[in-house]
Amino acid sequence: MAFGTSKVFVYLITDALNRTSTSMDLNTDANFKAALYDNSITPDANAAAASTCYNVGAWSAGHVLDASGWPSVGRPLVSPTSTATTNVYTFDAADTVSANDTTTLAANFGTQIYDDDVTSPADQGLCFLNWGSASVTSGRFTIVWNGSGLFTVTV
């Protein structure tokens, strides 16, 4: 089992188009979070919506955390943007930084991005992103989001 890859949950698209998810709005929701995971999990981009939620299914184990610097529930995405340019939709945000300079995180391999505003299913996932392995000892941990954004949808 391994984190291994970076993908968009298909049910993010399905629920948005079907208006299934009760309240997910990538343009206005203000509580997207990035939770960290080790390499023991096997994310599934095709999982049902309920299984893409924070602390559910594949995401119920493998949490990597620092109680104050990067809690299990994750750090909030700052300044998220949801835009389209020509045929590419992009979800992006400012880089996400640990809450302090004394954060200690064991080896972590990726993040699950979820919407803490969504209530049904609660904390539905948007995507998961992999970076190999990283750790920090009493320091500052920053996720520098890809120049192409967290994820894109090209039509």
Two tokens, residue 137? 């000892």
Residue matched to tokens 């594949």: 58
* Closest distance to other proteins from the beta carbon of 28 (Å): 21
**In this complex, which beta carbon is closest to other proteins, that of residue 8 or of residue 58?**
8
**Tokens read off for 50:** 């309920």
Shortest Å distance, C-beta 60 to other proteins: 20
Q: Quick one: 111 or 116, whose CB is closer to other proteins?
A: 111
Neighbouring residues of 113: CB distance < 8 A, sequence distance ≥ 6 = 32, 33, 34, 77, 125, 126, 127, 128, 129, 150
Residues lying near other proteins in the complex (CB under 8 A): 5-8, 10, 13, 101-102, 111, 127-131, 134-146, 148-155
What is the Cα–Cα distance from 54 to 154, expressed in whole angstroms? Answer: 26
Which residues are within 8 A (CB) of 97 and not within 5 positions of it... i.e. 6 or more apart? Answer: 75, 140, 141, 142, 143
At closest approach, how far in Å is the CB of 111 from other proteins? 8
CB nearer other proteins, residue 57 or residue 139 = 139
Q: What is the DSSP string of 93-115?
A: EEPEE-SSS-EEEEEEEEEEEEE
Q: How far is the CB of 26 from other proteins (least distance, A)?
A: 13
Q: Which is nearer to other proteins, 10 or 73 (CB)?
A: 10
